[in-house]
Amino acid sequence: MKWKTLLALMLLAAPLAAQEAKSLEQAGLVDVSALPGVRVFIDMRYATPHNFTGQKIYDSAKCYLHQDAARALQHALRLAAREKEPFTFCLWDCYRPQSAHQKLWQAVPNPNYVAPPAKGSRHSRGMAVDLTPCDFTGNPLPMPTDFDSFSERAHMDFYDLDPDVLARRETLKKIMTAAGFTYTRTEWWHFDKTGWKQKPLLDIPLPR
């Protein structure tokens, strides 16, 4: 068997193994709060009614990310700590089971803000994180909007903002891209880890 054929078979087998995983850990995901040296504040909005649906979507408030995204988040935290005015992150959303994503699509079937279920969310691959800068006591710093505002003001190319807020948004974008994430034009808080296409969609429930 030629090496190129063998490599192709290996790449096909890797997502299948993750899809058949019985736990998030088997699929390569890690609990962010358990990572050494990570000081973040977790405010999983979909584990509460404090989100745009007004309903509790998740049964757990735990933040899981694929280990690739988790390492990149650790890098972003180190960069944020080196800023002239250091900060950390408050995490609003991490891994999202596909069944939970279906509920969000039913509430807002708009592909500008919620990925169509047939395509799948990058959150459901464990490769996306929604976050905001906050101080080291967990207080969010001023940003253009709150989470899931579905407004033009939340766009990365909206510039009619207070100078301090605009500067903070640009600093966040700089840090996250330097750490290996890409950003979404319509949501300043949403970042995808590069390489997300190689990870399978998952519907493993969050642990309670």
Catalytic site residue from 83, 85, 152, 187: 187
Per the annotation, binding residues for Zn(2+) are 123, 130, 190
20 is catalytic: no
Cα separation, 15 vs 18, in Å, equals 5
Asked if residues 60 and 93 have their Cβ atoms less than 8 Å apart, the reply is no
- Closest-CA residue to 18 (of 85, 68, 87): 68
* Neighbouring residues of 13: CB distance < 8 A, sequence distance ≥ 6: none
Cα separation, 166 vs 100, in Å, equals 32
* Neighbouring residues of 103: CB distance < 8 A, sequence distance ≥ 6: 53, 55, 57
Give the ranges where the chain is alpha helix by DSSP (H). Answer: 3-19, 67-81, 98-107, 163-178
Active centre residues (catalytic) = 187
